[in-house]
Structure formats: structure tokens, C-alpha cells
Chains A and B, each alone.
Chain A
Amino acid sequence: MAERMSALSEQSPSIWRRLDPAAALGRLSESRYWMYLLLVPSAILILAVVLYPTVYGFQLSFRQMRLNRPDLGTGFVGFKHYIYMWSDKVFWLSLRNTAVWVTFAVVIEFALGLVAALALNRNLPGTKIMGVLILLPFFLPNVVAGHMWALLLDPRLGVVNDILVRLGFLETYKAWFADPSTALGAAILVEAWHGFPFFALLLLAGLKGVPDDLYKAASVDGAGPIRQLRLITLPMLRSVIAAAVILRVIGLVNSPDLLLILTGGGPGQSTQVLSLYAFQKAYKDFNFGYAGALSVVMFVLLMVFAWAYVRVSKVNQD
């Protein structure tokens, strides 16, 4: 459409050509800097809505800012928040919980995802629809996922309790999220349900890229399925696995959504993780300075992890 207008205008008097915005844009696109111009709108958005706030956030972590205590002002307080953090028991607890939460969730999701991908990759008749259904949880909202599982695991009318009691695994119904010893585990189960399809998705795509000839050659050489998995499949998937793990770890560390909905960090602080703690400091206590400091620490730890992980997986490649 735009182009038709500019084609028309090329035969029209030049004054009309100068006024036609489509033609003007078309001429602009012939400039040497077109490729950079294309980036301008998105770059402005990202600078204004991501980069600037993030830098602001770093700076905030060195300042006093409590929205509910304006009397304290917004002065510069140096490392006060970081020093306080050192003696904050909840911080250390959430750090530990974050490690447990992320490690177990990633390991379980990876294992389930790999099994699902290997099974789907065999392309047996009738499994295509299962492939679609298995992906479904990944696209469901946290809020619904959280409440679905809260319903399933409810201490009074949860169907999981009912099934476990009927099968004899449990004596009585259990309050999974109210018991500090099971709360984090139950939350990890929900997270695994929500997140393993992501691994299945990426690993399946990776498996499709492994040439069939490799398996044929291995078969001829007498390698069984287990050995084929260890010697061919996993090494060929290394870069996909690395990408999937990094992306998932970033997602798990950064987003407190599911725990916020399921437990709110409780009971006590037994499911408190760093991102949730920072969010609650900001959202409930309006202590923006301390929340900022907590998120900076989280960000730095995440960066260190990502750097170390990339290094280790590169080293293995040689």
C-alpha cells in the first residue's frame, strides 16, 4: 500500500512527492544508516523502560527510600543496606532456599524434559497429540497454575491427598503448604509441572538435529540404547542443554510469582527466596532502598553463575 503510493507519486509533481510520508520514509530507507534507524524505536523503549530503571535501581540500593516513612528522606546511605543484609537472617535463609529451589527445580525439569523429548522423538503413532498436551502447562499463567495446585493439594478437599490415602501412602490428609518441612518440596513439584515442558520443547528440537546416521553407525558398532544416549545424544545436545539451563535458571531466580501465589514465603520463612523477599520488602514494607540492595545482590550472583556455567560448559567442549 505504502509502496503503491510512492510509486504513484514518482510520476506526480515534486511538491506532492515531498509531502507524501510513505515516499519520504522510502527515501529514508535508502540511506546508509537505515539499519541503525530501524533499531531506534525499540532501543528508545528499552533504554527508557529497562536500562534506565535498572541503573536507577543500582543507585537506589545506596540510598534511603521508604515510601511509608517520608520523614527519613531519600539521602545517600552508602553500604548501609548491604551491611544490614550481612546480619539479616532472612536474607541468608532466602539465599539457601533459592539455591535449593533452583537446583531441585532445574534437575527435575531437565530429567522430565529429557525423558519426554526422547519419548516424543521416537515418533510413534498417536504420540503427536501428547506432544502438544505436554507443552500446555508452560503456556498457562502462574496465577491459575498456583491455584490449581493449591486446590489439588488442599488439606481438606485436595484430590491428591485423597488418592494417596486410598493407595495407602498416607494415613490422613496432609497440609502440604502449611508444613515447613514439605512446603518447599510441594512448591518445587508445582514448578516442575509448570517448567518441564520448556526443557522438553528445546531438547526435542535439539534431538531432531542429531543425524540419524550417527545412531545407525553406533548400532552397527554394537552400542545399546543407554550407551547411545551417553555417547551420542547428550554430547550432541550440549549447547541446547546449556542454553536451556541458563534460561531456566535466570527465570527461576528472577521471578517470585509462583511462590508468591502458593505460599507467600511461608509458613514462617520456609519458602522465602531472594526475589520474593526483595519484592515483599518493596511491595509490603515500601522499603525500596533495601529491596534494591537485595535485587542487586541477586543480579550479581546470577551473573557470576551464568559466567561460571558458560565457562565450565565451554571447557568441557575441548
Chain B
Amino acid sequence: MITTSRRARLGWNIATYAVLITLTIFCIFPLVWTLLTSLKYEADIVTQTMQYIPKRITFDNYVAIWTQSGFPTLVFNSFVVTATTVVLCLITGTLAAYSFSRFHYPGRGVLMLGYLVIRMFPAVLMIIPLFILMRGVGLLDSRFGLALAYTSFLLPLFVWMLKGFFDAAPKELESAARIDGCTRLGAMVRIVLPLARNGLVATSVFVAIAAWNEFLFALMLTTSQGSRTWPVGLQLMVGEFQLPWGVLAAGGIISIIPVMILFAIVQRTMVHGITAGAVKG
């Protein structure tokens, strides 16, 4: 915004910093507090006078959650489910995004809208029949079944985001490749996919974070330790064992570390991908 006088501009600058610092604190304070809690002794958490900066630090809480519960299994299950989801999305979603981005054909608009409308179906309405269905085909309480469910409702986002990245590659590239001797598939695999690799990574990370974090489907569709993911496991531990705050905080911190790392790596490309669709549409 352009303001005419220098004093007014200074005022706005100060206000801007004030707003941003406040919002940043609002956003990360819970995170910082949880981290601090996870490093405190239980006695220092449950005290009369609040300890803002811990007087002593311990990693006991981390050791406890990692060794005295099924947490490693939960995390491993989550890894498997997330990886499977990403692979399924990459295979099916990349093809669909490519079709929407590169070709114009009758029904394309309707199909694209159809892929988007799926997002509006309530999870709860879907989850019950899915439970019955998965039980019928033996996929209930399996990591693959859960990944299948995740893929289906993450696909629309994946396709729309990736389409934006594909759109950025000029169509003349495929024309050139076809004249040079590629088939359509060859032009896609050899020319367009390598070019869109940042987009592919960012879109995959977005889907991976969503799958890693998902709670509701996992709660409904897994019933045993063999396939249960960490969000469900953590939640159930809170209910069953009256988990001490320090241990719970440690579990929370462990489980968001992968999210933070992935977010940090592809933050810029991912943000670009998420916003492109909404701003254009």
C-alpha cells in the first residue's frame, strides 16, 4: 500500500511488525510450550508455581514413549501407510493430472469438476460403508486398505495441484519431442515429468503430510496394533493409560518432526501449488 507521508509509512511499518510478531507468537507458542513440557520432569510440570523455563532438562519422556509403549510400531505403520498412499497417488494421480493439463476433449471440464466435488462428500457418510466394504474384502484393519482410502480422498487435491505444475510446462515441448521421435508416453516420461519434478515432490509431500496426520479414517478402519497409525495410537493411549503430560508431549513432538522437516524442505513450492488452483479458479 502506498501512503504519502513518511511518518504515516513509519506508523504502518510498526503496526505491521507488531501484527506479525503477535501472530507468530500465537502460532508457535503452543509448539514451543509442548517442546518445553516434553523436556521437563513430571514433578516440574505438576507444580504449584509454573516453571516457564525448565530448571533441569530430561529426555526420560522420549525414552518412555519410545520404549514403554507400542509407539515405534505405530510410527512404522504410519510410515507404511503414508508411503503406500504417496505411491498410489503418484501412479494414478500423475496420469490423471497429465490428461487434464495436456489435452482438450469432450467431457474434460465435467470430469475435472467431478474430481473436485468428491471433496465435498462428508467423510462420515463415506466411512461407514467403507467400513462394511473393507470388512467384506478383508481390507479392514490393514495398512493397504487404509492407504487405499487415503488415496481416494487425497487424489482430487493431488490431481489439481499437480495439474497446475504441468500447466507451467509449455505444450510445444511435447510437440517438439514427438517430432524428434517420442511417443506421447515418451514425451511425458522423458520431457514433462523431469521438468515438473519439483511440483511432483511438493505435491507428494503435501499428500504425505495429510496421510501422516489423518485421524478419523484410521480410527474407524483400524482395530489392532498391526495396522494402527500413530494419531489413533496416541489418542487411545491418552484415554487408556492416563498418559503423563510429559510423555504425551514427547510423543507429539516425535510425530510432528517428519512433518516439520518435509514442510521446511519444500515449503515454497508446496505453498505455490496449494494457492495456484484456488487463486486461478
Chain A residues engaging chain B, CB cutoff 8 angstroms:
1-3, 6-7, 25-30, 34-36, 38-39, 41-43, 45-46, 48-54, 56-58, 60, 112, 115-116, 119-120, 122, 124, 127, 130, 132-137, 139-145, 147-149, 151-152, 154, 156-157, 159, 162, 193, 197, 201-202, 204-206, 209, 215-216, 218-219, 224-225, 228-229, 239-240, 243-244, 247, 250, 253-257, 260-261, 275, 278-279, 282-283, 288, 291-292, 294-296, 298-299, 302-303, 306
Q: In whole Å, how far is B182's beta carbon from the nearest beta carbon of chain A?
A: 6
In this assembly, does B53 line the interface, its C-beta being within 8 Å of a C-beta of chain A? no
A46 to B95: give the CA distance in the assembly, Å: 14
A279 to B215: give the CA distance in the assembly, Å: 13
Name the one of B37, B130, B271 contacting A49, with C-beta atoms under 8 angstroms: B130
> Interface residues of B, CB < 8 Å — how many?
100
Q: Check if A6 sits within 8 Å of B186, measured CB to CB.
A: yes
Q: Check if A299 sits within 8 Å of B127, measured CB to CB.
A: no
Q: Check if A201 sits within 8 Å of B12, measured CB to CB.
A: no
Q: In whole Å, how far is A232's beta carbon from the nearest beta carbon of chain B?
A: 9
Name the one of B148, B238, B281 contacting A243, with C-beta atoms under 8 angstroms: B281
Chief secondary structure at chain B's binding surface: helix
Closest to B37 in A: A151
Q: In whole Å, how far is A179's beta carbon from the nearest beta carbon of chain B?
A: 21
Taken residue by residue from 125 to 140, chain B's Cβ proximity to chain A (1 for < 8 Å, 0 otherwise) reads as 1111111110000000
Taken residue by residue from 161 to 186, chain B's Cβ proximity to chain A (1 for < 8 Å, 0 otherwise) reads as 00000000000000000000111111
Closest to B230 in A: A143
Chain B residues engaging chain A, CB cutoff 8 angstroms:
1-4, 12-13, 16-17, 19-21, 23-24, 26-28, 30-31, 33-34, 37, 45-47, 50, 52, 88, 91-93, 95-96, 98-99, 102-103, 105, 108, 111, 115, 118-133, 148-149, 151-153, 155, 159, 181-186, 188-190, 209, 212-213, 215-216, 219-220, 231, 234-235, 238, 245, 248-249, 252, 255-256, 259-260, 263, 267, 271, 274-276, 278-279, 281
Name the one of A36, A52, A303, A306 contacting B105, with C-beta atoms under 8 angstroms: A36
Q: Check if A39 sits within 8 Å of B111, measured CB to CB.
A: yes
Closest to B130 in A: A53
Closest to B159 in A: A42
Q: Check if B155 sits within 8 Å of A42, measured CB to CB.
A: yes
Q: Check if B23 sits within 8 Å of A116, measured CB to CB.
A: yes
Q: Check if A116 sits within 8 Å of B215, measured CB to CB.
A: no
